[in-house]
Amino acid sequence: MEFISKLANPERFMRVSQWLLPIFAVLAFICLIGGGIWALGFSPADFRQGDTVKIMYVHVPAAWMSMATYAIMGVASFVGFVWRHTLADIAARQAAPMGFAFTLLALMTGSVWGQLTWGVWWDWDARMTSMLVLLFIYAGYMVIWQVIENETQAARLAAILCMVGVINLPIIKFSVDFWESLHQEASIIRADGPSMPASMYLPLLAMALGYTFLFSTYLLMRMRTVILMKRRGSKTKGRAPSIAKTVAGETV
Amino acid sequence: MESTLLGQDFTREIAICWGVSALILGGLMLHAWQALREAKQGRD
Q: pLDDT tens, A151-174?
A: 889 999 999 999 999 999 999 988
- Residue A238: is its pLDDT beyond 50? no
Inter-chain touch A50–B32, beta carbons under 8 Å: no
- Tell me if A35 sits within 8 A of A207, measured CB to CB: yes
Confirm whether A95 is domain-assigned.
Answer: yes
Residues of A in contact with B10 (CB under 8 A): 50-52, 116
Average pLDDT over residues B6-34: 88
Interface residues on A facing B, Cβ-Cβ cutoff 8 A: 36, 40, 48-52, 54-55, 58-59, 62, 97-98, 101, 104-105, 108-109, 112-113, 116-117, 211, 214, 217-218, 221-222, 224-225, 228-229, 232, 234-236
Quote the CA–CA distance of A206 and A197 in Å, as a whole number.
14
Residues of A in contact with B13 (CB under 8 A): 52, 55, 112-113, 116
Average pLDDT over residues A70-99: 94
- Residue A103: is its pLDDT beyond 70? yes
Confirm whether A26 is domain-assigned.
Answer: yes
Q: Which of B14, B25, B35 sits opposite A101 (nearest CB)?
A: B25
Confirm whether A116 is domain-assigned.
Answer: yes
Number of structural domains, chain A?
1
Quote the CA–CA distance of A62 and A103 in Å, as a whole number.
7
Confirm whether A211 is domain-assigned.
Answer: yes
Confirm whether A232 is domain-assigned.
Answer: yes
**Measuring CA to CA, which residue among A251, A220, A218, A199 is closest to residue A54?**
A199
ipTM over 0.90: no
Confirm whether A186 is domain-assigned.
Answer: no
The answer for A114, left when phi > 0, alpha when psi is -120 to 50, beta otherwise, is alpha
pLDDT score of A48: 76
Confidence of residue A129 (pLDDT cuts 50, 70, 90): very high
The region of weakest confidence among A16-30, A48-62, A183-197, B6-20 is: A183-197
Average pLDDT over residues A104-128: 92
Q: Which of A108, A218, A224 sits opposite B28 (nearest CB)?
A: A218
Confirm whether A122 is domain-assigned.
Answer: yes
Q: Which of B7, B13, B32 sits opposite A52 (nearest CB)?
A: B13
Average pLDDT over residues A204-219: 97
Confirm whether A165 is domain-assigned.
Answer: yes
Confidence of residue A146 (pLDDT cuts 50, 70, 90): very high
Average pLDDT over residues A198-216: 95
Sign of CA dihedral A231, A235, A238, A239: positive
- Residue A237: is its pLDDT beyond 70? no
| Residue of chain A minimizing CA distance to B36 | A225
Quote the CA–CA distance of B16 and A108 in Å, as a whole number.
10
pLDDT score of A135: 98
Average pLDDT over residues A193-200: 80
Structural domain for A35, as ranges: 2-181+196-251
With a pLDDT cut of 90, the percent of chain B lying above it is: 59
